[in-house]
Structure 1
Amino acid sequence: MRADRALDGRSAGILRRAGAERRRSLRPIAVARIWILSPVYFDVDSYRRLRGELQAVLASLPLPPLAPRFVMVDDSAGRDPSVSKVEDTVQILVPPFNLGHQRAIVHGLRRLSREIADEDFVVTLDGDGEDQPSDLPRLLATLQDQPGNLRRIALAARTRRRETPVFKLLYFFFKHFFLLLSGTVVRSGNYAAFHGWVARNVLFHPHFDLCYASSLLSLDLEIVRVPCERGERYAGQSKMTYGKLVSHGFRMLMPFADRIAVRGLVVFALLLLLGLAALAVAFVLLAAGARISAAALCGLGLFVLLCATSLGSSLLLFALFSQSQGLSMTRLRE
């Protein structure tokens, strides 16, 4: 009798475990979400083509199933009637006014931050085709190399640009000017991939109010550069004028205000000391009876005044940077 009861107990335990295993096997497989956000400014047809190519690329990825969430930021601020042609499955965000492509990306990600999970994938790219969908697998593979590292960011590093000779010449001078001031060169644009943790925590830094691409580099984050050739626009021409490019270039410098301020302090302090030393030598020579032209003395005095003014400007820039760092701390979320 006891043996029968023991056997019945073991059988019931086996059945319970088997039932539990069966229930676990019937649970849906977890599907990672991938958010793909693009700013669009009167270029809906290009975006629709881009979305179709991205869907084909995602379907061929040798990764676990990904549930794509396409998000378009209408940077026309609702003035583009062709936005109505965009598929219903695309989430459309409309800012109150034109922000420019980089700030439109930041605006969109900040609005989505409550919906994005830390483990989700997030991809940002231009909607005109110059950021090629075929490069997406290599960006995502960079994140998959360390699946538990939610802080890693994959940036598309431009290896070739298809631009006019005038633009290439201006970019050459800008690149070296940027290097001189900041000590680095920004070779990336809006094409980036990272986990939702970055969107939820990092993109609220005040630097991103100014610029997207250079802010990612200015904060000393874990960046991995993936060489990617810049593609050609699907249709039309860029609406970025040379005036807007100059403005964009200065905004790219602003997140590096700390490095620019420190370099300015060091350089102009050394020049000021050199000028003061030269003035001291000149006065000693004058006291010893040497002849020094008035033009030389005036030029030396002007040099010292210029260095002092530049040093003051660098100190002011450093003070503004210190204040911005304080503001960035106040905006950190709990």
Structure 2
Amino acid sequence: MQQPIKSLPKVTIVAPVFNDWESVKFLLAELSHLYSLNSLNIIRLILVNDGSTEECDNKELKSLFPISIIELNTNMGHQRSISIGLSYCNDHSEGENFIIVMDSDGEDRPIDIENLLVEANLHHNTIIFAKRQKRTEAMWFKGFYKLYKYGFKILTSHHLDFGNFSCIPSKLVPKVVSIPEIWNHYSGGMLKSRIPHKAVGTDRGERYAGTSKMNFHNLVLHGMSAISIYLDVMSVRLLIGALFCSVLVFFGVLTIVYLALFTTIPIPGWSSVTGLILITILAITVLTTFLILLFQLNQKNIVRYPPKKFYKDFILSIKSV
């Protein structure tokens, strides 16, 4: 097994996999090529098998560096698979300097790992995320993705323009796996944690094999998972917005009543009824949002456990290749 240049930072890569073993073979080939060129010092690759229903012959997974496969006992989804992989790295460190989180389908390009590492060395104690500069998805996907980003910004006042592809300094891993929110949404949880982070522009790669599993249904669930992390902030903003609209409608109705009683200006009969209906709707909205906010604040009294506390419950086995 070829030994890379010692001055290069040691890297562990965590990649979730679900029925995409053909892509994994291409990923291993690219990573091994970079390893052979002494561009990356990969000390291990951790594949988190997210309950795949398709079997894979481990003998076909060839690389120039060690591979570990964490078999999950059920399908958990990408976000939770990442949390489990990071929690495992936290408990079983191999002396790596950085941990790379990436997809195994080729859309996160291995060649961009070098750029993430360069930025990580320039910005110590900072998590470096890859931000897609150029997207190649269908137009409908791009459109809904933009709506999601704008909606997230309006509801949370934060700008989430990066995904899972990231470089984590090893000293920050214990903090990362102590964040309960990463269980539902890795990048959203990191954003809320206020751990220093920086986004670096990268291009989206093409899938090695097969088709993307990100459909409209999964896109909506992914977006809602990110927004749910900020449910308390979102509830406050919606409450303020509903109250503001209620005040406007209330004064609008008062104006209509004044014009009808004290002036000779003709007022349509349906205008007052419409105003009352709007007030009723807004009142219900305010009450509902207020109750959601109270529920969310009450949830803060409940201790939420981070992934590092329970991740082992979802591991079926761990194999070395």
Q: TM-score range by the shorter chain?
A: 0.7 to 0.9
- Can you give the 5+ residue segments of structure 1 that lack an aligned partner in the other structure? 1-28
Q: Quick one: higher RCO (CA 8 Å, sep 6+), 1 or 2?
A: 2
Amino acid paired to 2:212: S
From the superposition, tell whether residues 67 and 172 of structure 1 become closer, same or farther in structure 2 (CA, over 3 Å): closer
Match of 2:223 in 1: 249
* Counterparts of 2:57 and 2:292, CA distance in 1: 42
- Can you give the 5+ residue segments of structure 2 that lack an aligned partner in the other structure? 1-5, 310-321
Q: Which of residues 252, 271, 274 in structure 1 aligns to 2:245?
A: 271
From the superposition, tell whether residues 105 and 300 of structure 1 become closer, same or farther in structure 2 (CA, over 3 Å): same
Match of 1:132 in 2: 109
Match of 2:171 in 1: 197
* Counterparts of 2:187 and 2:211, CA distance in 1: 22
Matched, 1:261 2:235: yes
User: Which string of whole-angstrom CA distances, capped at 9 and with x for unpartnered residues, describes residues 190-218 of structure 1?
Assistant: 11001233332233322212111222223
Match of 1:207 in 2: 181
In our comparison, the structure showing a higher alpha carbon Rg is 1
Query: What is the TM-score of this pair, normalised by structure 2?
Result: 0.81
* Counterparts of 1:177 and 1:286, CA distance in 2: 40
Amino acid paired to 2:24: Y
Q: Which of residues 41, 66, 83 in structure 2 aligns to 1:106?
A: 83
Match of 2:23 in 1: 46
- Secondary structure, in 3 states, of the residue corresponding to 2:229? helix
Match of 2:68 in 1: 91
Q: CA shift at 1:97, angstroms? A: 1.4
Match of 1:6 in 2: none
Matched, 1:322 2:297: yes
Amino acid paired to 2:277: L
Match of 2:313 in 1: none
* Counterparts of 1:128 and 1:278, CA distance in 2: 56
Overall identity of the aligned pairs, in %: 24
- Secondary structure, in 3 states, of the residue corresponding to 1:194? strand
**Number of residue-to-residue matches in the alignment:** 300
* Counterparts of 2:260 and 2:178, CA distance in 1: 60
From the superposition, tell whether residues 333 and 110 of structure 1 become closer, same or farther in structure 2 (CA, over 3 Å): closer
From the superposition, tell whether residues 125 and 331 of structure 1 become closer, same or farther in structure 2 (CA, over 3 Å): closer
Amino acid paired to 1:140: L
Amino acid paired to 2:112: D
Matched, 1:288 2:265: no
User: Which string of whole-angstrom CA distances, capped at 9 and with x for unpartnered residues, describes residues 114-153 of structure 1?
Assistant: 123797311100001110111111111112114xx43x11
Q: Which of residues 289, 306, 330 in structure 1 aligns to 2:281?
A: 306
Match of 2:147 in 1: 173
* Counterparts of 1:330 and 1:102, CA distance in 2: 16
* Counterparts of 1:326 and 1:117, CA distance in 2: 37
Alpha carbon RMSD of aligned pairs, Å? 3.0
From the superposition, tell whether residues 83 and 315 of structure 1 become closer, same or farther in structure 2 (CA, over 3 Å): farther
Q: CA shift at 1:300, angstroms? A: 0.8
* Counterparts of 2:38 and 2:251, CA distance in 1: 66
Matched, 1:122 2:81: no
* Counterparts of 2:172 and 2:298, CA distance in 1: 24
Asked if the contact 1:156–1:188 (Cα under 8 Å) also holds between the matched residues in 2, the reply is yes
Matched, 1:229 2:206: no
From the superposition, tell whether residues 333 and 243 of structure 1 become closer, same or farther in structure 2 (CA, over 3 Å): closer
Q: CA shift at 1:34, angstroms? A: 2.0
Q: CA shift at 1:106, angstroms? A: 1.3
Amino acid paired to 2:28: R
User: Which string of whole-angstrom CA distances, capped at 9 and with x for unpartnered residues, describes residues 216-250 of structure 1?
Assistant: 22333211111000010111111233222222221
